[in-house]
Chains A and B, each alone.
Chain A
């Protein structure tokens, strides 16, 4: 379908239309930062934002989630109902790619029913980036500032209007209902121009050529010893990462002691207990080993397993690291630059 144009002065009306039909999630201001939240009224939403505090992974892979409950020794199926479709509006290309990485794990040999259901019920209305944060390096991984495919709708700010590209039938339906005007060739050229300008703004870069092989050949690099002394094992990076998929599973018993539930919670390989086994064995006892695992997961392992990097260049881990560990610097050092 040909792209459409949404005039900025009609944006609120457009969002109001979406709110009638969907649970709309989008970037809203939170103190001096931004985060994804459920939008109640159109004015809450802002498209002028740099990377949000948390990635939108939380809407597919919840921070905590019940896997099933049990009563009198019998496990019960208990799916929440997700009849209402949700729509993520204004999600940046790096975060869309983050979801694509999560898909590789949660929709693998065994489909995670909770993740799958939310994923199927979510419409992705993405937004290309033009303001590039000083921590951003998505361009190095091909995950931004533009987005090719993997969206239902893709917005690009063209000053007084948005170019709206359509990537699916669900997206098509939305622009038809909203009765958006068709875009012209000039709108397209303007997008290309703006994307070119955005690309020139990146200060941070990672050379990804042969990066997985280089990481794998440098498991004994000095940097891992340095990071063993430096890193705090706090797990902030995992909390902020749009591709971190790990979770731990816990049981909780009701007060009656007759039932309870089994639930999962986001976990991080940076925490000491992550690789611990019985009798005090721990395959990653050293902080440096845990840091190496995390970095390699992003820069090597996911790529070798699934063909896409586990890093999407959002820069959140750099922003949130209390001791200034910088994944782009790690990649450079290991490469020998």
Chain B
């Protein structure tokens, strides 16, 4: 019988520093797993024996069958320990779990991405997925914000994203420390709405970041005549099992690990213990 709690070993084959507290880890399963695949927006349970597990979004190109990647900010027990590991070290992986970004629904549509901080990780997987067959989608506009310039991740990919056909990238930070060069917008991510080209017409919105940010993103977009069901949000909750049993991620009637993390906004609107 399959033990869903037992992780598979994966070797860290690459580590790339993104910011002072964020790194991207490339993982490759010790034993090749033919059954492993994922859709952008899904997550894995990252497992470190003796420490525990944490749910982490996959950020790599889903068409890459050899490796997968996660971009992790070191803020908890598992992620802080992960930060100390090196290439060649082994971690455990369970998954992939949860819902994905609405890959079928965004075909032949404009895509508006609104991301905050390390929340862009699962959207980076989506951007790569879209780039794999760019002609299947219409205009892509990426609004990306962080607290400070040095909190932005995937900065070396910005040039590539912006150069993709019919793609715009708008950056913003909440504040710029004195002396830092910053040619872009200053203000929370919703201040970019004034500069964006996306309209409600034929557009799907995908947003991921702190819940308070998504609350104002949704509010701002509704104000700009977007409809609630055009908007998809990706939520964070405590998860211990990742498979809809342990209860920790419950949000009203939903289990975020199972019916989420990606939800169409009206599904989670007004639920208790949430800011949405």
Contact = CB atoms under 8 A, between A and B. Distances in A.
Interface in A281-315: 281, 283-284, 289, 292-293, 296-297, 300-301, 304-305
24 contacts: A68-B6, A75-B7, A79-B1, A105-B247, A106-B245, A108-B245, A109-B244, A109-B258, A112-B4, A216-B252, A219-B270, A219-B272, A245-B247, A246-B248, A248-B240, A262-B49, A267-B246, A275-B273, A279-B75, A289-B272, A289-B273, A293-B250, A301-B250, A304-B253
Majority DSSP secondary structure for residues of B touching A: loop
Contacts of B243: 109-110
Given A251-B52, A260-B50, A245 B5 contact: no
Interface residues of B, number: 38
Contacts of A117: 1
A292 B238 CA distance: 18
A249 B253 contact: no
Interface in A115-145: 116-117
A278 B237 CA distance: 10
Contacts of B51: 251
A250 B52 contact: yes
Interface of B: 1-7, 9, 49-53, 75-76, 79, 90, 92, 236-238, 240-241, 243-248, 250-253, 258, 270, 272-274
B265 to A, nearest CB: 18
A105 B92 contact: no
Contacts of A251: 49-52
Given A70-B49, A77-B6, A110-B4, A278 B75 contact: yes
Contact of B237 (A67, A246, A283, A297): A283
A22 interface: no
Contact of A293 (B76, B92, B240, B273): B273
Nearest to A110: B243
B272 A292 contact: yes
Contacts of B241: 247, 249
Contact of A269 (B3, B52, B75, B247): B247
Given A275-B273, A283-B274, A249 B240 contact: yes
Interface string A250-269: 11010001001010100101
